A = this chain, B = another copy of it.
Amino acid sequence: MVWYYTPDGGRRKMTDLNLMRSLTQSNNTKMVLLVMDGLGGLARELGGATELETAFTPNLDRLAREGMLGLMHPVGIGITPGSGPGHLGLFGYDPLKYLIGRGVLEAVGIGEKLTEKDVAARGNFCTVDLDGTIIDRRAGRISTEECARMVSLIADITVPGAEIIVKPVRDYRFVLILRGSGLSPALNETDPQKVGLKPFRVVPQDDSEEASRTSDLVNQWVDRVSQRIKNERPANMVTLRGWAKEPGLPTFADIYKIRGVALAVYPMYKGLASLVGMQLINGLSNLEEQIEALREHWDSFDFFFVHYKYTDSRGEDGDFDAKVGEIEKVDKVLPRIVDLQPDVLVVTGDHSTPAVLKSHSWHPVPVLIWTPRFARGNPWVSGFGESDCLRGALGQFNAASLMSLVTAHALRQVKYGA
């Protein structure tokens, strides 16, 4: 057991977050974390340039020459992160220690605000035959509109002792939230993962009364849902998985003494930011509005998380040139961020999404830390790109250390030990 000693003479178990909690202090500095989702990329041919290296980015290139570059591993070397772990890492939470259950991530992803009384699950609509045996686990991948119609059919179903919230997500997916006292997420998943079997009944995964009671409630709900939609086609049944409670992460205010705010368009990223206690600015629908909101709220917060989605989207599409274009759009607004005179400006991604892979990947993500406070400069850096980052002052490191670097450069840390 490793302990650290608090200023009041107490001691607490040493974890990364407790270390940060014990070292950080408040001041008047402003920090901006600009995330281009899926920023990291790959060249299309041997010796070629990546998306970031291909993009015309005079502003990023100048910041790169004046600041510090590196490559970040969002989770660990060779690990391909989902959006949840990718962002937890950026926020300083080791994604291997802090897990967000799928149910919570789906709920957060559609903007549902969870309470500590909630248990959430990811649901799939599926197709069963007259015996109740699954013949299509995704109900022919019904459209999001059809999913919304199905949800409207079951949204009023109640069970005694818990409030029920059902929301459509995308295609055949929905979120189920049970809200009430004494609920437990210690439940099995009901999807048998193959056709030819019936959905499993929910059974508790531990001996607690809470799990037993929750499984009863869920089975009642599933029975009523089945009764209600059994004559619909193609979706006529549901499966449930990823049972989870809101993770209760320590907040930014607690760990870093920071008033953080998220300027994001997509609910998933607003949700992830809210899980660490950032405030949300709602109603933003594009980069222009995000930058304008940044200016508007500049005096009210210390830390600004600006999220740009479309670099990832075009990477997932496999559209190299379109991803280049999205990076260039972000570069164009950078001077407006710099004009606000941030003390620390970070530009990075939550993971790589190389267009040639059409998916998230394990490649470390380029990161740029710029601060007017300390002159570094690096004659081997000509701009912001993966190859330049290889020669950067920051080396390669795990994303969970980023916030330590950010607060250090904002002079928000005291020294460790005498």
Contact: B2 with A417, CB < 8 Å?
Answer: no
Contact: A374 with B356, CB < 8 Å?
Answer: yes
A340 within 8 A of B: no
Q: CB-CB contacts of A154-170 with B at 8 A, as 1s and 0s?
A: 00000000000000000
A387 contact from B102, B378, B407, Cβ within 8 A: B378
Given the known inter-chain contacts A99-B4, A241-B9, please indicate yes or no for A80 contacting B45, CB distance below 8 A: no
Task: Give the complex CA separation of A10 and B48 in angstroms.
Answer: 44
CB distance from A239 to the nearest CB of B (A): 12
Task: Give the complex CA separation of A396 and B102 in angstroms.
Answer: 33
A85 within 8 A of B: yes
A81 contact from B14, B393, B405, B417, Cβ within 8 A: B417
CB distance from A120 to the nearest CB of B (A): 13
Segment at the B interface, from A71-79, A132-140, A143-151, A305-313: A71-79
Segment at the B interface, from A175-183, A207-215, A257-265, A408-416: A408-416
Task: Give the complex CA separation of A81 and B413 in angstroms.
Answer: 11
Q: CB-CB contacts of A58-77 with B at 8 A, as 1s and 0s?
A: 00000000100001000111
A17 within 8 A of B: no
Contact: B415 with A48, CB < 8 Å?
Answer: no
Task: Give the complex CA separation of A290 and B3 in angstroms.
Answer: 37
Residue of B nearest to A400 (CB): B77
CB distance from A167 to the nearest CB of B (A): 16
Chain A residues within 8 Å of chain B by Cβ, number: 83
- For A393, the chain B residues whose CB sits under 8 A away are 386, 390
CB distance from A51 to the nearest CB of B (A): 13
Contact: A404 with B78, CB < 8 Å?
Answer: yes
Interface centre among A95, A386, A396, A416, by most chain B C-beta atoms within 10 angstroms, is: A416
A294 within 8 A of B: no
A82 within 8 A of B: yes
Q: CB-CB contacts of A385-400 with B at 8 A, as 1s and 0s?
A: 0110011110111000
Q: Tell me how many chains of this kind the complex includes.
A: 2
Contact: B96 with A9, CB < 8 Å?
Answer: no
Contact: B45 with A5, CB < 8 Å?
Answer: no
Given the known inter-chain contacts A80-B408, A378-B387, A407-B78, please indicate yes or no for A415 contacting B360, CB distance below 8 A: yes
- For A96, the chain B residues whose CB sits under 8 A away are 2, 14, 19
CB distance from A404 to the nearest CB of B (A): 3
Contact: A377 with B105, CB < 8 Å?
Answer: no
A283 within 8 A of B: no
- For A9, the chain B residues whose CB sits under 8 A away are 187-189, 205, 241, 243
A101 within 8 A of B: yes
- For A43, the chain B residues whose CB sits under 8 A away are 375-377
Task: Give the complex CA separation of A395 and B189 in angstroms.
Answer: 41
CB distance from A161 to the nearest CB of B (A): 23
Task: Give the complex CA separation of A193 and B354 in angstroms.
Answer: 54
Task: Give the complex CA separation of A387 and B71 in angstroms.
Answer: 17
CB distance from A269 to the nearest CB of B (A): 13
A66 contact from B46, B99, B243, Cβ within 8 A: B46
A78 contact from B46, B80, B390, B413, Cβ within 8 A: B413
Residue of B nearest to A102 (CB): B418
Contacts A47-B377, A80-B416, A378-B390 supplied; 5 other A-B pairs, CB < 8 Å: A42-B374, A43-B377, A79-B413, A84-B417, A359-B415
Q: Which 9 pairs show the lowest CB-CB distances between chains A and B? A: A78-B404, A82-B417, A85-B417, A77-B401, A395-B396, A78-B405, A47-B377, A46-B375, A80-B415
Q: List residues of A whose CB falls within 8 A of some B CB.
A: 2-5, 7-10, 14, 19, 23, 42-48, 66, 71, 75-85, 95-97, 99-102, 105-106, 187-189, 193, 205, 241, 243, 354, 356-357, 359-362, 374-380, 386-387, 390-393, 395-397, 401, 403-408, 413-418
15 A-B interface contacts by CB (under 8 A): A8-B189, A42-B376, A43-B376, A48-B377, A71-B395, A77-B404, A78-B401, A78-B405, A80-B416, A83-B417, A85-B416, A362-B404, A362-B408, A390-B393, A396-B397
